[in-house]
Amino acid sequence: MVFIKDVVASVILDSRKEKTIQITVITTAGKFTSSAPQGKSTGKFEVKTYKKSIEEDIKSLKKMMEYLGEDDFTEFDDLKKVEDILAGHTGSNTVIAFEYSLLKAIAKENGKEVWEIIYPDSDKSKMKFPRLVGNCIGGGKHTRGLGERELKPEFQEFLLIPDSENVLSSWNVNKTARANANVILGKVDGLFKSKPNDENAWQTSLDNKRVLEIVDDIKEEVMDEFSIKLDCGLDVAASSFYSRKKYRYGNPKFDRTIEEQIDYLSNLIKNFRIFYIEDPFDEEDFESFAVLQKKFPKAMIVGDDLTVTNSKRLEKAIKMKSITGIIVKPNQCGSLIEVKRVCELAKKNNIKIIFSHRSGETTENILADLAFGFGADFLKCSIVGKEREAKIERLIEISKKLN
């Protein structure tokens, strides 16, 4: 049984050198520290990161300490007590960082790993490791345009997904593919300078189609070397370039209607054998998601801005047959209880679960425990960079302990 003695919150810098929150919870089980990430490409239905500001959240948290110290915590579902107390007083990042620290305390008190607290009666022999989803080449809001015209792909992420549950092997595949991409981009993109973007994916001036051609070449090279199938994925992040019922492309400059967007993406899925496509349409367009899903039942059509780790929006997506995969980002909803609700609803309806980092990350690695504990199908956390590697290394650590 864990009791909270004190809470210390502070401001730290994320991987983009922007402010985020770190929370240390001092408990009867010891002292536990966690931090929350921040997204740049955020869905408009996400819970507000901070009620007014980080500083105001920290003040509110201190004021709520007298109530937080009254409860005891022994299991995952006890986190509901925290959410009931902090509701309306702080934003999603503050709640999540607090819950992360408390979950670590509960695990310590029970002599268990964090992931074991999620479903303590799980049959460990049947648990699976999520496939890695790595961001290799980037565009959209996470990337600066190159050259005088600030050219870049509109699509936010060009993803590599090894078809293996061996985390270390998958990571080596993705690191090799990323290194190969660096060489190829250096040859074909005159503006390329081997510079990474917010998520440590390569920045390029090439258009979407040309990048997909390069990814296709890289896939073949790496599969020959490692004998592991490598799937291709896209995070279109379509809401970021949608306005007045048109998708506004800038490289090359072209406006597409909703129908033209469906045709364009359909051609890309067919021509480049795209396995995974995230947010292909605007965050309110459940109908177009459903059209694409019906056309390509074997492809994963994934909701992120569409569903924002929200069980009500997931229910709507299921009812309308919009998606077969959902991104789970705990700080989108600011509630690990809601995360559990979303994961259980997804599993019940055969929706694949993808736990995901944010573009502004910290070295907090609990995302790996959550992904494994909730039985996620995929873990999306880019390929390199200390903040990204922390999650992958934690997943490898879990696999070594189990084996």
18, with CB counted inside 10 A (0-12, 13-18, 19+), is exposed
Q: CA 147 to CA 136: how far, in whole Å?
A: 21
CA 51, chain centre distance (Å): 22
| CA end-to-end span of the chain | 29
Whole-angstrom Cα distance, residue 10 to residue 16? 17
The DSSP code for 112 is S
Q: Report which secondary-structure segment, H or E, holds 73.
A: strand 72-73
Task: Say if residues 153 and 139 touch (Cβ distance below 8 Å).
Answer: yes
Residue 89 near residue 51, CB atoms below 8 Å: yes
Strand segments (E) across 14-55: 19-27, 30-35
Q: Catalytic residue numbers?
A: 199, 329
Looking at the chain, the number of H-run helices and the number of E-run strands are 14, 16
Question: What's at 231, amino acid-wise?
Answer: D
Rounded to the nearest 10 degrees, the angle between the axes of helix 386-402 and helix 167-188 is 150
Pairing of strands 242-243, 230-235: unpaired
Q: Which tokens go with 140?
A: 């959209």
**What distance in Å separates the CA atoms of residue 246 and residue 261, rounded to the nearest whole number?**
9
| Cα–Cα dist 250/362, whole Å | 32
Question: In 227-345, which ranges are E strands?
Answer: 230-235, 242-243, 246-250, 253-256, 274-278, 300-303, 325-328
Q: How far apart are CA 34 and CA 142, in angstroms?
A: 24
Q: CA-to-CA distance for 166 and 134, rounded, in angstroms?
A: 14
The single-letter DSSP state of residue 38 is B
The CA distances from residue 67 to 179, 198, 299, 328, 358, in Å, are 51, 38, 48, 29, 31
